[in-house]
Structure 1
Amino acid sequence: MDIGEFITVFKDGGVRAWLAWDALEAAGCVVRERFSRSPDVLGGLFTVWYRSADGTDGDWRNPGDRPLRVAECADAIDVLPADRRRRILRFTEAFRGEDAPVRLVLPAYAVGGDEAVLLDGTHRAVAASLAGVEVRVMLFVLDGPVDPQMLPDLGHHR
């Protein structure tokens, strides 16, 4: 998948992360495709959700707050805002009722090595992790500058 295809597939598909779509090509971003069946790979992905030092729900605008990984969200489900928690639990219940592996197609942004921040699909990713079901994860990872101008959350990953 090239950057143009990434934009076509994901831009109008409801990605809610504050990504600088117009800057992706100019920044030289490329797309890497990664497939995994590992719950550890899924659980290790960063989210755009945060925890503050006092253990409450955080925010990317607070420098002291830290981004949560998918597995951490699953472990801290009771701390998440009620609407987020309800959505995750609905997906979790649905995933546990499936006979086949849960298939997730997820856009992400690379932050170094194999680490990446999910741009969309976080509720589903956390639910799959929480459900403990077999997964098939197809990641489309933007590889570009780790610059908060591209995605504000990247300020927490420098």
Structure 2
Amino acid sequence: MPADAPIEFRRITDREELGQLFTSCRATARRVERPISHPFARPLRVHGVAARMDEYSNSNRGRFLALVDYFKSSADPVALRLPAYRLADGDALLLDGNHRATALWMSGLSVDVTLAMLCGPIDRRMLIDLKYWDGGWRRFLNRIRWGTTSDRARQATHSS
């Protein structure tokens, strides 16, 4: 990460905006809790995690629901300060606080979240979680295409 990568602060008070944040939770069309190495796993947004809550393991679901109960029972308003990575088009990837952000969204309470967003390059070599945004399948397919082109060029050279 460049030493001079700036940090921007973004305050979220709209529940729908909170629901649009990307989490470190990944899923395929059929299963949640998929590893980052799974080729079809995609990052879920906060609202997507909440929508698929019944698919999570009992222990993980229990952590989310315990936080929902905690937030609802608190006499004080809930204010979260969370680290994130700035993505393109105003999107953000939560670096920590995925359970807290999702639980706050699920609670239906008023939202007060401040993101400290690291503004660095979108490159998996900086942060592996960025692999979905730094080219993903297109990057993989381009490597195959480039390799195929090189192989054909080599074959043409050797056969002449």
Shorter-chain TM-score above 0.5: yes
Q: Which residue of 1 aligns with 2:158?
A: none
Mapped contact 1:63–1:156 kept (Cα < 8 A): no
C-alpha root-mean-square deviation of aligned residues, in Å? 1.4
CA distance in 2, matches of 1:58, 1:141: 25
Mapped contact 1:110–1:144 kept (Cα < 8 A): yes
Q: Does 1:157 align with 2:133?
A: yes
Q: Which residue of 1 aligns with 2:14?
A: 38
Q: Does 1:140 align with 2:116?
A: yes
SS in 2 for 1:53: coil
Q: Does 1:72 align with 2:48?
A: yes
Q: Which residue of 2 aligns with 1:61?
A: 37
CA distance in 1, matches of 2:17, 2:97: 15
Q: Cα distance, 1:99 vs. partner?
A: 4.0
Which segments of 5 or more consecutive residues in structure 1 lack a partner in the other structure? 1-22
| Closer, same or farther: CA 24–124 of 1 in aligned 2, 3 Å | farther
Mapped contact 1:84–1:123 kept (Cα < 8 A): no
The normalised TM-score by structure 1 is: 0.79
Percent identity at matched positions? Answer: 35
Mapped contact 1:34–1:139 kept (Cα < 8 A): yes
Q: Cα distance, 1:93 vs. partner?
A: 0.3
Q: Cα distance, 1:148 vs. partner?
A: 0.6
Which segments of 5 or more consecutive residues in structure 2 lack a partner in the other structure? 135-160
Q: Does 1:50 align with 2:32?
A: no
1:90-134 CA-partner distances (Å, limit 9, x unpaired): 110011123443101010001112101100011100100111111
Q: What is the aligned length?
A: 134
| Structure (1 or 2) with the greater helix fraction | 2
Mapped contact 1:75–1:130 kept (Cα < 8 A): no
The normalised TM-score by structure 2 is: 0.78
CA distance in 2, matches of 1:99, 1:38: 21
| Structure (1 or 2) with the greater strand fraction | 1
Larger radius of gyration: 2
